[in-house]
């Protein structure tokens, strides 16, 4: 059994809470904000820049436009935009986590970054809209007057960020091993479903591993 899981999620679906529970149940490290800490340490970018990288993608056009503006020279001789450099800073950290062979990684296109690594379990969590609104207010502590705008902003940013950097479609079933609707399920129950899947799944070449 390979204990390496990536979790993508709609805002308000409980994905981060579920991810932490999965990590505890599997006995492996949990990576969310921790990826930012490592990326800051290794890249030299400020925490604020890396932390806000995904949210900058709330406008698809503006993000794409900004990503075409290049600064400096890359190692290969071509130039990279700041957006691309911020993405690569986290990309490198996620790759290193993958090489360790275990952990639960939330967001940051981790399913795409580790796509060539055998045995990774990629999960997408979504939920019914009203349930997401309720969780945002009651669990996340979001302002009831702003919660719907927050959901729209975060979902759009995550979608644009993922689609731009991966050339794949955020939420598309083909990118994941397991897709779960967390509606009417406690976070603990969703985590148990993921753990059960991880424990039971097999993949080509597993017998020789």
CA distances to 17, 19, 27, 181 from 57, rounded to whole Å, are 23, 23, 33, 25
Mapping DSSP to helix (H, G, I), strand (E, B) and coil, where does residue 124 land?
strand
CA gap 179, 161 in Å, rounded: 20
Please choose, from the candidates 95, 105, 94, 86, the residue with its C-alpha nearest in 3D space to the C-alpha of residue 28.
105
Q: What is the pLDDT of residues 88-145, one digit of tens each?
A: 889 999 999 999 999 999 999 999 999 988 889 999 999 999 999 999 999 999 999 9
pLDDT digit string (tens) for 158-178?
999 999 899 999 999 999 999
- Report pTM: 0.85
- Per-residue pLDDT tens for 45-92? 888 888 877 777 666 656 665 555 544 444 444 577 777 888 888 999
For the chain, what's the residue count? 209
């Amino acid at each position: 059994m390979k204990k390496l899981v990536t979790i993508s999620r709609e805002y308000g679906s409980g994905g981060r809470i579920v991810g932490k529970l999965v990590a505890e149940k599997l006995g492996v490290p949990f990576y969310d904000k921790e990826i930012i800490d490592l990326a800051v340490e290794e890249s030299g970018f400020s925490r604020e820049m890396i932390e806000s990288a995904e949210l900058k993608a709330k406008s698809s056009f503006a993000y794409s436009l900004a990503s075409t503006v290049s600064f400096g020279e890359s190692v290969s001789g071509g130039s990279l935009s700041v957006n691309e450099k911020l993405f690569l800073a986290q990309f490198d950290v996620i790759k290193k986590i993958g090489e360790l062979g275990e952990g639960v990684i939330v967001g940051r296109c981790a399913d795409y970054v580790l796509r060539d690594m055998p045995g990774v379990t990629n999960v997408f969590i979504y939920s019914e809209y009203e349930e997401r609104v309720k969780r945002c207010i009651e669990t996340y502590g979001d302002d009831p007057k702003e919660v719907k705008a927050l959901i729209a902003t975060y979902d759009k940013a995550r979608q644009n960020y993922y689609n731009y950097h991966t050339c794949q479609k955020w939420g598309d079933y083909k990118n994941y091993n397991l897709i779960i609707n967390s509606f009417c399920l406690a976070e603990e129950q969703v985590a148990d479903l993921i753990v059960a899947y991880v424990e039971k799944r097999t993949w080509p070449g597993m017998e020789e591993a």
